[in-house]
A and B are shown apart, each in its own frame.
Chain A
Amino acid sequence: MRRLAGKCCFLICLMLGTTILPSASLMAQQGGPSVATPSATSSAAPSATSSEPGKALDEKLAQLDQRVTAAQSSADNAWMLVSAALVLMMTGPGLALFYGGLVRRKNTLAIMMQSFALMGVITVLWALVGYSLCFGGNGPLIGGFEHAFLRGVGAEPNADYAGTIPQTTFMVYQLMFAIITPALITGATAERLKFSGTVLFLTLWFLVVYAPLAHMVWGKGGFLNASLGGKFPTLDFAGGTVVHISSGVSALVCALYLKKRTGYPQKPMPPHSLTLSFIGACLLWVGWFGFNAGSALASNGLASSAFVATHFAAATAALSWSAAEWIKNGKASALGAISGAVAGLVAITPAAGFVGPMPALVIGLVAGLFCYWMVTKVKAVFGYDDSLDAFGVHGAGGTIGALLTGVFAQAVINPIFGAGKAVGGLDGHWGQVGNQLVGIAVAWAFALVGTFILLKIVDAITGLRVTEDDEVTGLDIALHGEEAYNLEP
């Protein structure tokens, strides 16, 4: 009762306060912290008594301007914070469940733990130097230390990247991309890479491969940047090159370097729980709206366009993969359908903010078929053990998506090269396909070489592969000392 009385007292004070205070300040109650300047409130009172009508009007207009900016900032910020949370959800639990279900039971926690560890490690690195290396400075290859330790990153927007939201929001949104990208690679190293080796390798990989690529493509002055002065303007709306080609191609290098799992391919290694994978894939699909539509960096029409393109491509890719499987095996599997959806989401990622709904359907259709072929045929022919198909889905899907972005991008959707200038091939600018190829080649080369060198280094420091005994026992028990399922009563 006493607590309740205290609460009532507090509420009364609060109500009194809220009725008295606004009489002093006319606006600013809705104000986004970043753009609504406090001076707006103080200038409000004299304007009413001003004798010159022209000056009063100017002041009124200035006020209005500030209010509009504040309202837009507040709307954009809300969407971007939700998007950041959605993208984090793609790693944990999305990817962790998707991959967790695909491994054998004895390795469930190990693969989940790899994703989760990155949520911790990359976050810390991002705060120290990561954000700055990606988005600080304006070099052609890599950012600088301008924002190291998040210096200068606060409520003020960074006009180069997102002029209506606090830079803090932009920073944390981009962090979520940096977390999921290395996590994707763990699909190729699953069931045999040490935990210590994973953490060290992916930490270095983030610094040496991800940060430069993110800067080249998205950073100011990066030589592949499409809108901020790149020499070869590569269209990559949400990460076809930066996220999917980089991680997918690195995954292939890892799979080749680590060699096959013991017993592969003679021994059956079916997924231990497609139910988990199914939930994970559905979470990825939903999270991808934050990934792609959020990449508009504002709550605007472009975000809606990217949202629709994302959804449409996922749907057609799920259908085309399933259809291919149905024709080939006589059955449409759940694993096929969810793999197709992920392939479509990967392929639409670079294109999401440049293409309309119809090209999105085409991109999805192509991605579903292409990734199906990569995963079932190409992998078998070459015999590499890309355990969970990180390369077959992300490397292949990212490449085909980046290429098709050059074909289908439209100025109507996103006039990134300026008003009236054609963007993609069908728009009349076939040179863009060439630019896309440069972007793809750079991302491939960077991932291939960087990953190979880092694997050599990490192999020398911590070692990479677990012992054969540990592999047979399972990484959950051998490396983490626990089991995913203790079902005994």
Chain B
Amino acid sequence: MMKLEAIIQPSRFESVKGALLEIGIEGMTVTEVRGHGRQKGHTEVYRGREYTVDLLPKIKLELVLPDKLVDKVVDTILKTAKTGKIGDGKIFLTRVDEAIRIRNEERGENALQ
């Protein structure tokens, strides 16, 4: 099992979600986050006072996947989340030891279905 965390542009989120649904991914956890990597923020000017806003809004997707689906999901996210500009975000993969469904205590990949 792998946990996939993807930080993406808010404007791409609907496309990514749609594409994931199409390849059969039904569960995900989504958070609105702020941050920046190489993309620097922007400046705002209020009555002559300039502010640099360097933390930009992003969307964080979290999915835990059976090993066989990981490549397909990564490909889908890469395809749909890309705008080609700085600030498109990143995908992180981590190994997951165990998953437990709270309702019936199923364990392992069965809990992900």
B86 at the interface (CB under 8 A from A): no
Name the residue on B nearest A335 (C-beta): B46
Name the residue on A nearest B50 (C-beta): A329
Contact B48 A335 (CB under 8 A): no
A329 to B48, CA, bound (A): 9
**CB of A227, distance to nearest CB on chain B (Å):** 38
B49 at the interface (CB under 8 A from A): yes
Q: Pick out which of these stretches binds chain B: A67-75, A264-272, A308-316.
A: A264-272
Name the residue on A nearest B44 (C-beta): A270
A32 at the interface (CB under 8 A from B): no
Name the residue on A nearest B52 (C-beta): A268
Contact B51 A329 (CB under 8 A): no
A268 to B46, CA, bound (A): 10
**CB of B94, distance to nearest CB on chain A (Å):** 31
Contact A268 B48 (CB under 8 A): no
**Binary per-residue interface labels of chain A (331-373) against chain B in the complex, 1 for a CB within 8 Å, 0 otherwise:** 1010110010000000000000000000000000000000000
**Binary per-residue interface labels of chain B (48-60) against chain A in the complex, 1 for a CB within 8 Å, 0 otherwise:** 1101000000000
Segment 42-81 of B: residues with Cβ below 8 Å from A: 44-49, 51
Chain A residues whose CB sits within 8 angstroms of the CB of B51 once the complex forms = 268, 270
A268 to B44, CA, bound (A): 10
Chain B residues whose CB sits within 8 angstroms of the CB of A329 once the complex forms = 45
Contact A376 B44 (CB under 8 A): no
Contact A271 B46 (CB under 8 A): yes
Chain A residues whose CB sits within 8 angstroms of the CB of B44 once the complex forms = 270
**CB of A382, distance to nearest CB on chain B (Å):** 13
Name the residue on B nearest A321 (C-beta): B47
A339 to B47, CA, bound (A): 9
A268 to B47, CA, bound (A): 13
A377 at the interface (CB under 8 A from B): yes
Contact B48 A375 (CB under 8 A): yes
Chain B residues whose CB sits within 8 angstroms of the CB of A376 once the complex forms = 47-48
Contact B45 A375 (CB under 8 A): no
Secondary structure dominating the interface of A: helix
Name the residue on B nearest A331 (C-beta): B45
A380 at the interface (CB under 8 A from B): yes
A76 at the interface (CB under 8 A from B): no
A379 to B45, CA, bound (A): 15
A70 to B47, CA, bound (A): 50
A339 to B46, CA, bound (A): 11
A368 to B60, CA, bound (A): 44
A389 at the interface (CB under 8 A from B): yes
**CB of A393, distance to nearest CB on chain B (Å):** 10
Chain B residues whose CB sits within 8 angstroms of the CB of A265 once the complex forms = 49
Chain A residues whose CB sits within 8 angstroms of the CB of B49 once the complex forms = 265
Contact B48 A333 (CB under 8 A): no
Chain A residues whose CB sits within 8 angstroms of the CB of B47 once the complex forms = 335-336, 339, 375-376, 389
Chain A residues whose CB sits within 8 angstroms of the CB of B48 once the complex forms = 375-377, 379-380
Chain B residues whose CB sits within 8 angstroms of the CB of A271 once the complex forms = 46
Name the residue on B nearest A371 (C-beta): B47
**CB of A376, distance to nearest CB on chain B (Å):** 3
Chain B residues whose CB sits within 8 angstroms of the CB of A331 once the complex forms = 45
A377 to B48, CA, bound (A): 8
Chain B residues whose CB sits within 8 angstroms of the CB of A375 once the complex forms = 47-48
Name the residue on A nearest B43 (C-beta): A329
A379 to B47, CA, bound (A): 10
**CB of B89, distance to nearest CB on chain A (Å):** 25
**CB of A281, distance to nearest CB on chain B (Å):** 13
**CB of B16, distance to nearest CB on chain A (Å):** 25
Chain B residues whose CB sits within 8 angstroms of the CB of A377 once the complex forms = 48
A339 to B49, CA, bound (A): 14
Name the residue on B nearest A388 (C-beta): B47
Name the residue on B nearest A389 (C-beta): B47
Name the residue on A nearest B51 (C-beta): A268
Chain B residues whose CB sits within 8 angstroms of the CB of A339 once the complex forms = 47
**CB of A88, distance to nearest CB on chain B (Å):** 27
Chain B residues whose CB sits within 8 angstroms of the CB of A380 once the complex forms = 48
Name the residue on A nearest B47 (C-beta): A375
**CB of B65, distance to nearest CB on chain A (Å):** 30
A271 to B47, CA, bound (A): 10
A408 to B48, CA, bound (A): 31
**Binary per-residue interface labels of chain A (267-280) against chain B in the complex, 1 for a CB within 8 Å, 0 otherwise:** 01011000000000
A380 to B45, CA, bound (A): 14
**CB of A276, distance to nearest CB on chain B (Å):** 14
Chain B residues whose CB sits within 8 angstroms of the CB of A379 once the complex forms = 48
Chain B residues whose CB sits within 8 angstroms of the CB of A333 once the complex forms = 45-46
A265 to B47, CA, bound (A): 13
A270 to B50, CA, bound (A): 9
Chain B residues whose CB sits within 8 angstroms of the CB of A325 once the complex forms = 45
A380 to B49, CA, bound (A): 9
A336 to B47, CA, bound (A): 7
**Binary per-residue interface labels of chain B (88-100) against chain A in the complex, 1 for a CB within 8 Å, 0 otherwise:** 0000000000000
What are 14 inter-chain pairs, A to B, with CB distance below 8 A?
A265-B49, A268-B51, A271-B46, A325-B45, A329-B45, A333-B46, A335-B46, A336-B47, A339-B47, A376-B48, A377-B48, A379-B48, A380-B48, A389-B47
9 more A-B contacts (CB under 8 A) besides A268-B51, A335-B46, A375-B47?
A265-B49, A270-B46, A270-B51, A333-B46, A375-B48, A377-B48, A379-B48, A380-B48, A389-B47
* Nearest 5 A/B pairs, CB to CB: A376-B48, A268-B51, A375-B47, A329-B45, A270-B46
Which positions in B face A, CB cutoff 8 Å?
44-49, 51
